[in-house]
Amino acid sequence: MSSRRRRLAYPTYDNDALAHAMALVAVPVLFGLLGAWLDSLLGTRPVLLLVLGGFGVACSFASAYYRYEAKIARNDEGKPWARKPHRGSEPRGKEAT
C-alpha cells in the first residue's frame, strides 16, 4: 500500500469528521455539566451552568474556526493568490513621494 493511500485510509485528527463533531459537542456539554455541578455545590442554580456552557460553545467555535483557517492555509500554499508581493513592488499609481 502506498504512503498516500495509507494516509487516506486511516483518518487523522485533521481529516476525521467524527473527531471534529465530537469535539464540537463534547466541550460545551462537559463545561455545562461542570457548571451544573458547581451550581449545586454553591447554590447558584443556573448561573455557572449558563456561563460555563456558553464558554464551552465559544471555545468549540473558536477551535473549529482556527482549525479551518489552518487547513485553508495549508491548501493555499504556493497558489498565486496566497503569494505575498515582493518587497519594493508597489501598485501602479502609488509611487512614493
In a domain, residue 38? The reply is yes
Within-domain flag for 92: no
Q: Is residue 89 part of a domain?
A: no
The tens digit of pLDDT for each residue in 21-51 reads 999 999 999 999 999 999 999 999 899 999 9
Count of domains forming the chain = 1
- In this structure, is residue 13 part of a structural domain? yes
Is 83 within a domain?
no
Answer whether residue 61 is part of any domain: yes
Is the residue at 74 inside a domain?
yes
pTM over 0.75: no
Measuring CA to CA, which residue among 36, 14, 11, 10 is closest to residue 23? 14
Report pLDDT digits (tens) over 35-92. Answer: 999 999 999 989 999 999 999 999 999 999 999 999 999 899 988 888 777 676 666 6
